């Protein structure tokens, strides 16, 4: 049996691989487990691992990571994989696969796929509630959403935050999240822009001041503002397309796309273009002239809020 684990969600991908290996070891022991780095191992070595019979066990599992990057293997993969013995299972770990290749087309017809896509806000919230439960803690759905909004969408980071919060108190509350979880810069800058676009100058400037107090330099803030404006432009120009489609095509997290969509829904495209132009000019000036970056960036934020 050939199983392919693929997708952009690194945390889910590693969890799926770990689970499959765990199942195999529980049934057959670790004598039949063989791991190879497909990018480094030669074709002959991979072929040997795939074709050889298990030793001192009835079943063998070959875990092959990143083999798509090995051009020689990818070309011979249909031949090598078609000839594996019934006593051998193959687990291919391929975060990215080129659907145009013969390798992918062979796998599509002959393998089972486990696709690990990024989760949207609802999916992350449900996962957080369950993950907290698995750690012996409790977390409400509303507080799970709040944690996502505060800490971002990286599942590995979120898992670490739950572990930390559970050590503090098994009953995880919003108050504990505020006390123990630092908001990620991208999330904070989005809140800054959200406040500015909503005309809330005080809120926007308070967030800016918090970032500077945390020793985040104006150049770093500018880079994050530019990225957020880039996301807003992608979502705005996509029109009424489904957020999931936008996220997939632009390789963005669905949660990020949905938040951006809510922000730009009523914003004229001409205004967004103007702000992007101003941001580009400001970024250029900050890098090439002796302007006061702090004052210039605060002025830009106030310009957004002034409407």
Question: How many Cα atoms within 13 Å fall on the side-chain side of residue 172?
Answer: 30
Residues 247 and 283 in one domain: yes
Mean pLDDT of 22-39: 92
Residues 295 and 189 in one domain: yes
pLDDT band at 107 (very low <50, low <70, confident <90, very high): very high
Question: How many Cα atoms within 13 Å fall on the side-chain side of residue 259?
Answer: 25
Q: Of 180, 205, 226, at which residue does a domain stop?
A: 180
* CATH code, domain carrying 96: 3.40.50.300
Residues 168 and 196 in one domain: no
Q: What is the pLDDT of residues 268-292, one digit of tens each?
A: 999 999 999 999 999 999 999 989 9
Residues 172 and 215 in one domain: no
Residues 111 and 125 in one domain: no
Task: Count the domains in the chain.
Answer: 3
pLDDT confidence of residue 190: 85
Residues 110 and 170 in one domain: no
Residues 196 and 176 in one domain: no
pTM over 0.75: no
* CATH code, domain carrying 160: 1.10.8.60
Residues 99 and 20 in one domain: yes
Residues 217 and 264 in one domain: yes
Full domain range(s) for residue 70:
2-115
* Cα-based torsion angle of the residue sequence 100, 106, 112, 113 in order, rounded to the nearest 10 degrees: -10
Q: Are strands 60-65 and 33-37 parallel, antiparallel or unpaired?
A: parallel
Residues 194 and 295 in one domain: yes
Residues 300 and 195 in one domain: yes
Q: What is the pLDDT of residues 204-217, one digit of tens each?
A: 999 999 888 888 89
Q: Given a cut of 80, is residue 187 above it in pLDDT?
A: no
């Amino acid at each position: 049996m050939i199983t392919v684990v693929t997708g952009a969600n690194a945390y889910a991908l590693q969890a799926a691989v770990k689970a499959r290996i765990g199942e195999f070891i529980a049934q057959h022991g670790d004598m039949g487990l063989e791991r190879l780095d497909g990018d480094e191992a030669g074709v002959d070595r991979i072929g040997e691992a795939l074709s050889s019979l298990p030793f001192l066990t009835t079943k063998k599992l070959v875990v092959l990571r990143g083999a798509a990057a090995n051009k020689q293997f990818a070309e011979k993969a249909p031949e090598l994989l078609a000839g594996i013995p019934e006593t051998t299972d193959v687990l291919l770990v391929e975060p990215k696969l080129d659907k145009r290749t013969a390798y992918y087309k062979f796998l599509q017809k002959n393998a089972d796929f486990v696709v690990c896509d990024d989760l949207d806000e609802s999916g992350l919230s449900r996962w957080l509630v369950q993950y907290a439960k698995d750690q012996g803690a409790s977390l409400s759905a509303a507080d799970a959403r709040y944690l996502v909004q505060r800490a971002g969408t990286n599942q590995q980071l979120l898992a670490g935050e739950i572990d930390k919060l559970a050590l503090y108190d098994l009953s995880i509350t919003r108050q504990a999240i505020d006390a123990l979880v630092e908001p990620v810069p991208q999330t904070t800058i989005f809140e800054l822009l959200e406040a500015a676009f909503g005309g809330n100058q005080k809120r926007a400037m308070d967030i800016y001041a918090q970032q500077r107090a945390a020793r985040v330099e104006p150049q770093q803030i500018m880079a994050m503002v530019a990225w957020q404006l880039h996301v807003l432009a992608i979502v705005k120009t996509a029109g009424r397309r489904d957020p999931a489609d936008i996220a997939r095509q632009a390789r963005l997290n669905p949660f990020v796309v949905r938040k951006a969509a809510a922000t730009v829904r009523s914003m004229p495209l001409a205004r967004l273009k103007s702000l992007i132009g101003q941001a580009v000019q400001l970024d250029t000036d900050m890098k090439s002239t002796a302007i006061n970056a702090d004052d210039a960036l605060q002025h830009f934020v106030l310009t957004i809020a002034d409407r």
